[in-house]
Structure formats: structure tokens, C-alpha cells
Amino acid sequence: MYQIPFTSKNAEDAFKAALVKVDANLVPFREKFPDDTTYKNVYYPRKDRNGEMTGANIGWTTSFWTGILWLAYEWTKDEKYREVAQVQVDNFITRMETASDVDHHDLGFLYSITCIADYKLNGSQKSRDGAILAAETLMKRFWEKPGIIQAWGRMDDPKQRGRAIIDSLMNLPLLYWASLETGNPRYAVAALRHATQLQRYQVRPDATTYHTFYFNTETGEADHGETAQGFADDSCWARGQAWAMYGFPLSYIYTRRESFLKTATALTDYFLAHTPSDRVAYWDLAFGDGSGEEKDSSASAIAVCGMLELAKYLPAQKAASYRQQALEILKSLVDNYSTRDHPESNALLLHSVYSKPGKHGVDEACLWGDYFYMEALMRVMNPSWRLYW
């Protein structure tokens, strides 16, 4: 364990160092969006489906750059961040209105930290309406019989029909929020059913998680778990575990179901027991020091945010332990994984893994890792920070 504490001043110094990179990206990524991951630690405009460099607002990760801009604006009050974020939020509203690449479960990722953030920070009714439309669109993927939101593919695709994904826990706040805003309970009812089903079936008895799980949409019965990005179907993909560590506390905020805290605590304890000597996880928790496998700094950044949120609702001793261990992980990320001493990179957090099985974004920076790194720093700088989720 680190003997030197990680303070709000340390977090602010790291945040300011990250802003140097953000500032350099304001012009190239004003109307274009970075790709999911870097290439040799440098972000380029994201490729469209034809392989051309366009920077289009497609895929599930574009919002993380916009979310970084909102965090930068919220802390500094510098209009240059708000101005670029607003350009991008307008793009997200258009994306939803034209139904451009919105037929998947990731709409919470896309609209919570863009449009909802804008609404919370600036009171934008246009952004509020765009986010509600996103919630309505996400509801089209809800299967009533099993009570789950299908992750990918057409609803009649036999390979994807009834497939839920652990990442989706982070998308549920969009639905809970929509019920609060509209007074219509159907969004929150679907979100709670989905969270409960994932809690029951995707969390294993040993407090590990399946990446994805299939449900029978005709009978509602649970079928089997399967991975897409983990080492094996029965291993524990680190980022999936981190999504759940953060996602269940988010459902607790909106539902006050104590069981979500119990589940999140068990998941967190497993994650911490399988973190290596430098406190930053390997891409699958099956691996440890000496394995020769890559780290996933993004999983640890997500985990820090989840631990700091979870600690708010736990007894004092457990909460203090989680806060301390979260700060140890964050200190390691700042000291050993940030780009503050890497002028050649326009990213914020190095050494993540998008998909090892897919050989995509292996030992690169990624947009979500950068965002959750910034959110983690914000949480330390401002413990009363109002979540975008």
C-alpha cells in the first residue's frame, strides 16, 4: 500500500495536467470525434464503416470525449470547454432525431454524460428532450418476458436475441432519470427488472460476473453465460466486473434496494483481491503478476469511481477502507499510467485493453478510460460532485 496519501491537491494537479491534453484536442475534435482507442497512443478521428477517416458520431464511445469536456467546464468554468461540448451535444441530439446508430443498449453511455450533463449543468431543455428520446429508444430493446434489455443486434437476430450484457448496468440511469423527469414509471420499472435479472444470473456465486448472458425471450427463462471480450466464458473480465461495481450502486441511488449494495460490495471485494502489486488490474482477473498479460487501466479507473460511489452508502469502517483503496489505485494511475510525462500522446491514460480476443486496442489508451480517470479525479477534488449518471 502507498504510504503517501493521495489528496485533493494531488487530484487537482493531475486534473490540470490532463487539461493540457484536452486543450490540445479542442480544435481537432471540435466537430469530429476521436476513435474508440489510440493508435500508438495517439487519437485520430474515428473511422466510419467504409474505413474513411471522418470523425463521425457513431459507435458507443463518442460521448466520453464530450463528457470529459463537461468535467473540464464544470471544474474550470472556462467557456472554451462549454462551447465545444455544446457543438457536440447538438450532434448527439441530431443523432437521436435521425436514429443514426442508436439500435443498441449503449444509449445511456451516449446520452447521460452529454445531454443529461448539459441539462444538469446548464438547464438545456433541448438536451433534456434529446435524452428522453434516447430513453424511449432504449425501451424498444426491452424484452417483457425475461425482463431484460437486449445488448446488440436486431431483436429477431437468433444469435443476439435475448442477450444481456453486464455493461448495460451503466445505461440504466438514463431510464431511471427519464421516469423522474416525465413522471412515467415504465422506464424505471424496466430498468429495475433488468438490474435484478443481471444481479440474479450474471453475478456468479463467487462474486464474479459473466460478460453476457442469454435469456429465452419466449419463456423468460435464463439460459447461459458467455463472454465476448473476456479470457473465457467462466473467467472474470476485469472491465465487466468494474462496470458492475459501479452499475449496481447507480441502481441503488434510484431504487434504494439494499441488495444492490450487498452485490456491489461482494464484486468489489473480489476485484480488490485480484488486483496486482501496482493496484491496476490486468484485462482479465484470471491473470496476475508474471502472467505476461496486459493491464487494463480503464477497468481500474471505472472501479475507482464505483468504489467512491459505493462508499457513500456503507458503514464507516468499510467505507473508509474502500476510499483508501480507491485512492491507492488512483495514485497508481496518476503516477504510472497517465500521460503527463508523455508529450507525444494526446490521450490521458495509457495501457488499457479494448478487446484482447478481438486484437483491438490492446495496450492503448481509450476514450472511456480517459473519461473515468477524469471523473475519478473530479470525485476526489469535489466529494459532493453531482453525478451525470
Identify the pLDDT of residue 2.
46
Per-residue pLDDT of the chain (389 residues; tens, 9 = 90+): 445 689 999 999 999 999 999 999 999 999 999 999 999 999 999 987 666 668 999 999 999 999 999 999 999 999 999 999 999 999 999 999 999 999 999 999 999 999 999 999 999 999 999 999 999 999 999 999 999 999 999 999 999 999 999 999 999 999 999 999 999 999 999 999 999 999 999 999 999 999 999 999 999 999 999 999 999 999 999 999 999 999 999 999 999 999 999 999 999 999 999 999 999 999 999 999 999 999 999 999 999 999 999 999 999 999 999 999 999 999 999 999 999 999 999 999 999 999 999 999 999 999 999 999 999 999 999 999 999 99
Continuous H helices in the chain: 8-25, 62-76, 79-97, 107-111, 117-122, 125-139, 172-182, 186-201, 238-255, 258-273, 297-310, 316-332, 367-381
Give yes or no for a contact between 87 and 114, defined as CB atoms under 8 angstroms apart.
no
What's the CA gap between 87 and 190, in Å, rounded? 32
Residue with cell 440511469: 173
Give yes or no for a contact between 237 and 172, defined as CB atoms under 8 angstroms apart.
no
Q: Which of 251, 243, 284, 249 is nearest to 264 (CA)?
A: 249
Tell me which amino acid residue 95 is: R
For residue 387, report the phi and psi dihedrals to the nearest 5 degrees.
Answer: -60, 145
Tell me which amino acid residue 185 is: P
Cα–Cα distances in angstroms (integers) from residue 352 to residues 105, 316, 344, in the given order: 23, 32, 17
From the list 35, 36, 106, 284, the catalytic residue is 106
From the list 167, 284, 296, 370, the catalytic residue is 167
- Pairing, β 352-355 against β 222-226: unpaired
Cα–Cα distances in angstroms (integers) from residue 264 to residues 144, 191, 201, 303, in the given order: 25, 17, 14, 11
Give the chain's radius of gyration (CA, Å): 19
Grid cell digits, residue 6: 493521495
Active-site residue 156, yes or no?
A: no
- Pairing, β 148-149 against β 222-226: unpaired
What's the CA gap between 279 and 358, in Å, rounded? 25
Q: What is the DSSP string of 43-58?
A: --BPB-TTS-B---S-
Grid cell digits, residue 161: 436475441
Grid cell digits, residue 368: 472511456
Active-site residue 101, yes or no?
A: no
What's the CA gap between 47 and 52, in Å, rounded? 5
Q: How many residues does the chain have?
A: 389
Q: What pTM was computed for the model?
A: 0.97
- Residues 6 or more apart from 277 whose CB is under 8 A from it? 289
Grid cell digits, residue 79: 467557456
